[in-house]
Structure 1
Amino acid sequence: MSKTAKFSIFTVIVILIAILAYLYASPYLALKNMKTAAQQNDLETINQYIDYPSVRQSLKEQLNAYMLKELRQESDNEFAKFGTMLASSMTDSLLDAVITPSGVGLMLQGKNLNPSHMPLQTTTTSHSDAVEKDKEKVEYKMYYSSFNRFVINIKNTERHDQRVQVIMLRDGLNWQIKQLIIPIDHY
């Protein structure tokens, strides 16, 4: 076998290994980019990684299931039934208000959607100090559930009931958040 043929085979093998390594690492890189964008309040970058209609639909299904459960528990209370049905009709507007780049950014940082966590323009603490403090409180566990599906479990270590599961699906060479699973009774 000639040196040129050996070099060509070696080059093809190196390229294949590089492609496979990128395919494996790509959701981790996407998460790193999203976390950095969330910490820097870079909403444009966060938008690239989120399929908003899909995320809203997944949360709408979770909210409706939770409200149906509550409705069944309050089967003898007509006022509670009415309140649950009214809340169900407001689900879309609630999700439009919550599922925004900043809302998803807060969830990616392990925070709940509480106004006290919204970034303020006139804080006395620097943003980087707040980010460093929050890093210690958030735990990320990531894994592939299939070749095209990546799961991220985000847990606030100070509040064990505060957690989010992010489902990302491969879209070509990129990844997008398609589903958020949250413990609705804690938000």
Structure 2
Amino acid sequence: MKTKTWAALALVFAAALAVYWYESPWLTLWQMQSAAKSGDAASFNAHVDYPRLRESLKGQVSTLLADQMGGSDGNNVGSAIGGLLGMFVADKAIDAFVRPETVMRAMQDGKLLPSLHHRKPSASSPDGTAPPPAGERLQWQTEREGADRFVAYALKPGTPREQATAFVLARQGFADWRLSELRLPQLAR
């Protein structure tokens, strides 16, 4: 009788552990959203791998710059030097721009780049921008890319997924997830 009880307990424990492992990225996403909403940078930072996040953005910007430079004459030395200078400046700008405040704001707004229209400052937000209007609440769509990647798309109502910023969490350890990549919608729109 005791053997069956221990076996049942082990089975329940294993099932609970499997459910926790499977649900852990959603829990991390919720914790990040809560920390961003409350402005708790320390709790938010516990779930972000800033070096990998910066590298992902540098790669996207470099690709964009290379695509733009590809349309020009490849023999033009000035264009090549200008492209390299642009990539250097973009790298430094991303290093300076990707900070807890901007990434937390991106999670609230659904985009990393500030909008082109100005918002009235609000006393409730530390960076002087007002929160999105209540009618513009973000809708989150998620998908798994294998066992080690979890992608959450921040969608405004009526926005197609390909125009949304994607927050990519990478698994580290058993059930610890960190924001390691932001996939920006097409920058050249």
Whether the 8 Å contact between 2:103 and 2:112 is mirrored in structure 1 is no
The aligned residue for residue 144 of structure 2 is 144
Is the counterpart of residue 103 in structure 1 residue 102 in structure 2? Answer: yes
The aligned residue for residue 165 of structure 1 is 166
- Deviation (angstroms), 1:10: 1.1
| Structure 1 residues without counterparts, runs of 5 or longer | none
* Greater CA drift, 142-151 or 159-168: 159-168
Whether the 8 Å contact between 1:98 and 1:113 is mirrored in structure 2 is no
When the two structures are aligned, how many residues end up with a matched partner? 180
1 CA distance for matches of 2:66 and 2:100?
28
- Deviation (angstroms), 1:153: 1.6
Specify the SS of the correspondent of 1:147.
coil
- Deviation (angstroms), 1:144: 1.5
Whether the 8 Å contact between 1:138 and 1:156 is mirrored in structure 2 is yes
The aligned residue for residue 91 of structure 1 is 90
Q: Which amino acid is the alignment partner of residue 140 of structure 2?
A: Y
The aligned residue for residue 181 of structure 2 is 179
4+ aligned runs moved over 4 Å, structure 1: 76-83, 115-121, 129-132, 158-162
TM-score of the pair, normalised by structure 2:
0.80
| Structure 2 residues without counterparts, runs of 5 or longer | none
CA RMSD of aligned residues (A): 3.1
Residues 118, 108 of structure 1: CA spacing in aligned structure 2 closer, same or farther, 3 A cutoff? farther
Which of the pair is proportionally richer in helix? 1
- Deviation (angstroms), 1:80: 6.5
Whether the 8 Å contact between 2:138 and 2:155 is mirrored in structure 1 is yes
TM-score of the pair, normalised by structure 1:
0.80
Residues 155, 117 of structure 1: CA spacing in aligned structure 2 closer, same or farther, 3 A cutoff? farther
Identity %: 25
Whether the 8 Å contact between 2:170 and 2:177 is mirrored in structure 1 is yes
The aligned residue for residue 21 of structure 2 is 23
